[in-house]
Amino acid sequence: MENEKADPQDAAVAEELKGVPKEFLDQGTDGEDDLSEALAALRGDLEAAKQEVLYAKAETQNVRRRMEKDVSDARAYAATGFARDILSVADNLVRAIDSIPPEMHDDPRLKALVTGIEATHREVEKVFAQHGISRIAAKGLPLDPNQHQAMLEIPTDEAEPGTVVQEMQSGWMIRDRLLRPAMVGVAKKPD
């Protein structure tokens, strides 16, 4: 067997190993263990990096959704402060209309004034409707603490206790949010 020729594959491996430092070649199986440990550590790092990327993508998507909602809310409720301020003007228009006696509606000298005040009130209500501002129903309904503010109790047999029987100031909503609660009188059983 001494005359056996060297395997050409062994010669190719030996040629490839010429550039490898001797300390790596002498390590034997320990070097293979070190390489597999290093490879396992790299795979673990890769998985951790993949998870971090997924979490970052999810967080970015959540932030984007929150920002879109904030922008949408800002558009929908931008007029809230102004609407709250202009409600007193609408209240005064209603008071002006209510204070005009019926016989003055037909008086030719005041007819234009009455018509103008009524037209202004209709225009204000139209603009409110265009911006999602609506009046809260109150009279005859049960007290809703989310929309009504009870100012007094009125003893009466004409309505169930807890029912709104008087509206002192109208309440308003802007879309689905309370703009101003209705100030109301609530029925109670007489003593």
Task: Give 120-179 pLDDT, tens digit per residue.
Answer: 999 999 999 998 999 999 999 999 999 999 999 999 989 899 999 999 999 999 988 999
Instruction: Write down the pLDDT at residue 1.
Output: 45
Range of the domain at 66: 22-75
Place 93 in a pLDDT band, splitting at 50, 70 and 90.
very high
Residue 157 forms part of a structural domain: yes
Q: What domain count does the chain have?
A: 2
Residues 138, 165, single domain; the answer is: yes
Residue 173 forms part of a structural domain: yes
The rounded distance, in Å, linking the Cα atoms of 182 and 174 is 14
The pTM score is 0.63
Residues 42, 105, single domain; the answer is: no
Lowest mean pLDDT among 9-13, 32-36, 45-49, 119-123: 9-13
For 164, counting Cβ atoms within 10 Å of its Cβ (0-12 exposed, 13-18 middle, 19+ buried), the class is buried
End of a domain among 34, 53, 75?
A: 75
Residues 69, 110, single domain; the answer is: no
Q: Average pLDDT, stretch 92-120?
A: 89
